Amino acid sequence: KAGVTQTPRYLIKTRGQQVTLSCSPISGHRSVSWYQQTPGQGLQFLFEYFSETQRNKGNFPGRFSGRQFSNSRSEMNVSTLELGDSALYLCASSSTGTGWDEQYFGPGTRLTVT
Amino acid sequence: DQQVKQNSPSLSVQEGRISILNCDYTNSMFDYFLWYKKYPAEGPTFLISISSIKDKNEDGRFTVFLNKSAKHLSLHIVPSQPGDSAVYFCAAKLTGSARQLTFGSGTQLTVLP
């Protein structure tokens, strides 16, 4: 079974630009969560989508948005990029919509804002 | 306000000895705790978890201990192997929040041969 894939793996953008990152979950998984990892901060939860609906949202400004398609693939968008948005963005997929089940992480997209 | 803290950014241990990684939390509403391991250029992989109603969970060389009164959990790896060298994150789930995990900042474990 193929794992979680994220594209692109690396990205360099300029302040003020916008960026879209993509995540394809494991086949059959319907929940996709996004996390931001910065040095010394661990992973911080951005949002979670299930069946094309955002179910949870972390404490990030409105510049961070996402969506999920009917095939469960998800995209996240960051508008008006700031230097502090430089981070590793990870997505994780899980199979069920209720209760707890293991989250499988992708390798991440490394975003550098200059 | 960091609700999950890993106060040791790094830890070095000799091969064959015990590795103990620590994690403290502040929110009493966490009901599930997990440990993830992360190698460079890879996403975190799930290692072991524990429910808040238990105080210990074992899986092979890995044991997680939970002390609710102290709001402290630890991961023991015995015996440590060079392949265990990675960044270890502890994470916690809030009651009623199925997918939102709160992570610590990670501890780099280096197992010396």
B27-61 pLDDT, tens per residue? 999 999 999 999 988 899 999 999 999 999 999 99
- Distance separating alpha carbons of residues A89 and B27, to the nearest angstrom: 25
| Residue A25: C-alpha distances to residues A33, A93, B53 (Å) | 10, 5, 31
**Per-residue pLDDT, A103:** 86
* Residues of B with Cβ-Cβ distance to A56 under 8 angstroms: 97, 99-100
CB contact at 8 A, A38 and A46: no
Q: Which of A31, A40, A107 sits opposite B41 (nearest CB)?
A: A107
pLDDT cut 90: percent of chain B above it: 87
Asked if A14 has any chain B CB less than 8 Å from its own CB, the reply is no
Count CB-CB contacts under 10 A for residue B41. Answer: 10
Question: Poorest-confidence range of A52-56, B10-14, B68-72, B79-83?
Answer: A52-56
Report helix, strand or coil for A59.
coil
Distance from A17 to chain B by nearest Cα, in Å? 25
A63-109 pLDDT, tens per residue? 999 999 999 999 999 999 999 999 999 999 988 656 667 889 999 99
Q: Which amino acid is at B106?
A: G
Name the residue of chain A whose CA is nearest to B105's CA.
Answer: A42
